[in-house]
Structure 1
Amino acid sequence: MKTLQAFSWIFLLGCAASLGACDAEQPLPQCTVGRGEHAVRYTLVSGIGSCAAKRAEKLGAQIFRTPGSGEPPSLVFKPGPFAANEGKDPAHPVLSTGNFTTEYPSKDEVCEVPTLSEARQFVAQATGTPVDVRYQWSNVRVQGSSAIPGTQWIADLTYSEDDCTATYVAVGLFPALKCERTEVRNGQNVVVRDPAICSLPRPSLSIDPAFPTLCDEGTNLCVLDGEPPALLPQP
C-alpha cells in the first residue's frame, strides 16, 4: 500500500526565494508534486468547438509512494470540473493516475510520467442531457530541482466533450490562487481583479515570489508566465 508523501512548502519558499542558499551540488529531492490544487494554463494545439475553449482551471494533484522501497511514486490528477461531480457518475473514474519513471529527477532536474489513465465523467447539464467529458494526460514533466520541487510542470492533454476533441499544452503551477480581493462599495462587498495578489506573501500557502505569474482574465487564476522551469532574474 502506498502512503502519501507530504509536501513541504516552507522549504520551497525559503529555497527558491533565495537561490544562493540552495547549493547546486546537494542531492536532488525525490520526485514529488505539490499536494493540493494547481492552477493549469492551457494553450490550444488543435481542435474546434466547445472542447477547444479551455483557458485555465484548477486541478487537484498529489503523489503516493512506498517509503523505503526505492520505487518511483505514482501521480494522481483530479480535474477541477470533476470535483463537483464526484459520486454522481460512479461507473467512470474521477482520477487520472500514472507512475513516474524514476524515484529521483533526471540530470536535467525533471521527473517524467509518460502517461496517465483516462479520467472520465458524464456531467449533467442544465438542458438535462449529460456530457461525456474525458481527460487524457501524457508527457507530464514535473520540475524536480531544489528551487522548484514539484511546483511547476508541463504536459500534453487530449480533452473531449462527447464527439468534440481538442489537444492542449498544459502548464501547471502550485498552489492555485485567485488574483482577486474584496472591496466594500456602497455598503456591498465587491470582488475586484488584482494581478498583484499573485506575488504577495500569504499567511498560509503562497506562490513562490521567484516564479513569474499572470492573472488569467477568464478565470482570475494566478498562472505561470512561461514554461517550466521559470524563475525571475535574481538581483
Structure 2
Amino acid sequence: MTLRLIGLGTGAVLLVSTLSACDPLQQDPQCVVARAVSDGSTGSFATSFTLAQGEDATASCAQLKPEVVGLQKYFSQDPNARDRDPNVKDRVGLRSQPWWLAMPAVVAAERPYVVDPDAPVQRHAVGDLTTDAPGPDNYCEVPQLDNPTRLELRSTVSGQPGLSLTYAWSNVRIYNTPDIPGTLFVADLTYTENGCEAQYKVKGIWPVVSCATNRKPDESKCDPKADPSVGRLRGSGINPNFDVKCDPDALICVLKEPSAAFP
C-alpha cells in the first residue's frame, strides 16, 4: 500500500511537471459581436452619427441623434457547409430604430409618430463577414449588406404627414481584441427621410445604458466604476476604454467624441 501511494504521488508530480512545461493553449481569434446573453436577444449598441464632410448640416435629414442599433452574428445553419463550399460565410444583421420611438410620449413629443402597421417595413439588413478572424487592424468586416432597413411611420397628429425612413448601411466593421471583444462597431450610413438624403459616419458601443434620472441626463450613470459613497453600488457596465457621456436627447451613454479615430 505504501509503495502504491508513493508511485501515485510520483506520477502526479510527473504529470504536473509535464503540464507546466507545455505552453498554455490559446484559442484562435474569432470575429464576435457582443450580444445580450441573458435572454439571447440581439446585442444593442448605443450609436452616434457624425455628418460626413461636405453634407448640408441644415437639411432635415442631417439632424440624426444617437440611436439604439441592434447587431447580431448569424452562423451557417449547416455546420458542414464550409467543407463543401469555402465561400459560405457567417453573417451579421443590423436593426435600426429612431431613439424617440422607444421613449415615453412626453419625451418624444417633438416626434409624434408610430409605426404604420399597413406599410411595408424592412427592419433588418444582413451581410456577409469577409473572414472568420479579425484582420491586422483588429476589425471584422461586412462591406455590403443585402438591403437597407426601412420604416414607415404614421403621424399621431391629425392632418400631419408621416415619415418614411431608410437606413442604407455599408462598410460595417466590428472591433475585436481581448479588451474590446466585439463591443464597438463603425460603419457608413446613407440616411433618407422623406426623400432628403444625408451621409454619415457611424460609431456604436455595447451595451446600451440608460442615463436618465427623472427623464433628465445623469452623467454618473455612465461611470464604469462603482461609488458606494454616493449610493452607486455598481458601475455602468460600459468598457472603461470608452470615453462616454450621457446624451441629453436619447438619454443613453454614448462616446464623447464619436468622430475621433479608434483605437
Same topology, TM > 0.5: yes
| Aligned CA distance change for structure 1 residues 39 and 158 (closer, same or farther; 3 Å) | same
The CA distance in 2 between the partners of 1:88 and 1:38, in whole Å, is 26
Amino acid at match of 1:154: V
The CA distance in 2 between the partners of 1:218 and 1:61, in whole Å, is 22
Alignment partner of 1:160 is 2:174? no
The CA distance in 2 between the partners of 1:223 and 1:29, in whole Å, is 27
User: Which structure's residues are more often helix, by fraction?
Assistant: 2
Structure 2's unaligned 5+ residue stretches are: 1-24, 36-42, 83-87, 103-113, 227-232
Number of aligned pairs? Answer: 198
Shift of 1:191: 3.5
Within the candidate set 53, 57, 60, 1:50 is matched to 60
User: Which structure's residues are more often strand, by fraction?
Assistant: 1
Deviation string 1:47-94 (CA, Å, 9 cap, x unpaired) is 442211012111122111127455532111111239776782563311
Alignment partner of 1:81 is 2:98? yes
SS at match of 2:254: strand
The CA distance in 1 between the partners of 2:191 and 2:235, in whole Å, is 33
Would you identify which runs of 4 or more consecutive aligned residues in structure 1 move more than 3 Å? 25-29, 67-72, 82-87, 200-205, 225-230
Q: Which residue of 2 aligns with 1:134?
A: 166
Cα RMSD for the two superposed structures: 2.8
Q: Which residue of 1 aligns with 2:151?
A: 121
Shift of 1:153: 1.1
| Aligned CA distance change for structure 1 residues 89 and 111 (closer, same or farther; 3 Å) | farther
SS at match of 1:159: strand
Structure 1's unaligned 5+ residue stretches are: 1-24, 182-189, 231-235
Higher Rg: 2
Conserved in 2, the CA contact under 8 Å of 1:43 and 1:55?
no
Conserved in 2, the CA contact under 8 Å of 1:42 and 1:169?
yes
The CA distance in 1 between the partners of 2:150 and 2:91, in whole Å, is 19
The CA distance in 1 between the partners of 2:28 and 2:178, in whole Å, is 6
Amino acid at match of 1:74: R
The CA distance in 2 between the partners of 1:94 and 1:43, in whole Å, is 22
Deviation string 1:94-124 (CA, Å, 9 cap, x unpaired) is 1111111111111221101112221112211
Alignment partner of 1:193 is 2:186? no
Shift of 1:193: 1.9
The CA distance in 1 between the partners of 2:204 and 2:118, in whole Å, is 26
The CA distance in 2 between the partners of 1:225 and 1:26, in whole Å, is 35
TM-score after normalising by structure 2: 0.66
Q: Which has the higher contact order (CA 8 A, sep 6+)?
A: 1
The CA distance in 1 between the partners of 2:91 and 2:74, in whole Å, is 5
Aligned identity (percent) is 31
